[in-house]
Chains A and B, each alone.
Chain A
């Protein structure tokens, strides 16, 4: 069975500060990993994904994540937070063509 753990239900940063949202996964087979963002009253929008190949993946809006197999992690980072980054972020895992298993989400708060 697969699972995802997101540490911190809320993360607060100042505008311009580094954003780090943590995600650890459990999977018995090579995983596909995703980060989605959800703005209020909207659906989920894909930020980035890891399937195979390069372990550092870049996504939209300046976000990136690094797949670390030895640490079973897929943390999301952005060098400089913007007010518009305030949203809820979900990490998810799948083994391919199957259901996504989501973490519980992390709400990012950005203060001026």
Chain B
């Protein structure tokens, strides 16, 4: 597709269950980011992938959160033993690390997000 896609668009789960959120970046984009948007905390960085490795996972709020990326493409964010405070919109973004028209570009393109509600 032309843009970043995320699935599911909405997820309702019960406290204590595990959830998996998926992100498909723009084809050819080597860097991938996860952010979380919540009423109390605004937009927060979670983790960054360059290829399949994660050089910066400083934003993951606890060890219940993990993420992986395979084949330099699709990424999955997993939340184990979900808590009510995990309720938020989880946004994925990708970027092409390189040049565009002769200038470095670092624009992050965002997907529509996954709205997670933990009951």
Interface residue SS majority, chain A: loop
Kindly identify, within residues 21 to 76 of chain B, every residue whose CB is under 8 Å from any CB belonging to chain A.
31, 33, 35, 42-43, 45, 48, 56, 59
| Interface Cβ pair total, 8 Å cutoff | 54
Looking across the interface, which residue of chain A has its beta carbon closest to that of B91? Answer: A43
Q: At the interface, yes or no: B108 with Cβ under 8 Å from chain A?
A: yes
* Assembled-state Cα–Cα distance A36/B91 (Å): 13
> Which of these, B95, B103, B106, B110, contacts A43 with CB under 8 Å?
B110
Are the C-beta atoms of B56 and A99 separated by less than 8 Å? yes
A84 to chain B, nearest CB (A): 19
Q: State whether A97 and B97 are in contact (beta carbons under 8 Å apart), knowing that A43-B113, A49-B107, A51-B106 are contacts in the complex.
A: yes
Interface residues of B (CB under 8 A from A): 4, 31, 33, 35, 42-43, 45, 48, 56, 59, 91, 93, 95, 97, 103-113
